[in-house]
Amino acid sequence: MSRRALRKPDPSLDLVPWLATREQLPRPWNAVAVFGRIAPLEVELGSGKGLFLVSAAALRVERNFLGLEVSAKYARHSAARLAKARVGNARVVHGDGLRVFHEVLPDESATAIHVYFPDPWWKARHKKRRVMNEVFLRDAERTLIQGGSLHFWTDVEEYFLAGLQVVAEVTRLSGPHDEPEQAPGHDLDYRTHFERRTRLAGQQVHRAVFYKPA
């Protein structure tokens, strides 16, 4: 499902501290330098328009949220939403999210990891670009705390089944466990814009959650 054109962010918005690049992240990782505090961390790989970051951060103010987005314009869009809403516990990083996991995030640093509607890379020669790959999943398992969760949703059944297979082959994560579909309370009461479009079109969303065992 293709993305729609974005509105340009309000140029008067100051996106500091909501937007950073991968290169600007502290190494070694320092939550205080990024968020101004230490709190349980949830990471979203592929933040898109930022609906999940804005809504989840507002709902769970006791946690920090880090969104990773490879597209500069989508990263700026998400950061602008956070800045406009004055969300203090969420940040967006523009850059290769897989490299952030591999190079920046330390062991047992994340309470939850969210991968929602990643690019399916339809052509056979491009499927190696899928984010649900062996390297990322090993990093996801490494960075999760004991009992931490990995959430994977997609509208592409083939990708869903392939993702479940890779998780089973390269990690010790428990699952897949079902994540029940929730009835929306309002027009934007969805995990992401992709979920909203998919469900309003009457199409199926494939959902799974995995847990890191003790």
* Active-site annotation, residues: 119
User: How far is CA 146 from its chain centroid?
Assistant: 19
Q: How many CA atoms lie within 13 A of 63 on its CB side?
A: 19
Q: Which of 197, 177, 196, 176 is nearest to 186 (CA)?
A: 196
Instruction: State the Cα–Cα distance between residues 202 and 181, nearest whole angstrom.
Output: 13
The DSSP element (H or E) to which 90 belongs, if any, is: strand 90-94
Q: What is the DSSP string of 15-65?
A: -TTTEEEGGGS-SS--HHHHHSS---EEEEE--TTSHHHHHHHHH-TTSEE
Both structure tokens of 164:
């479940």
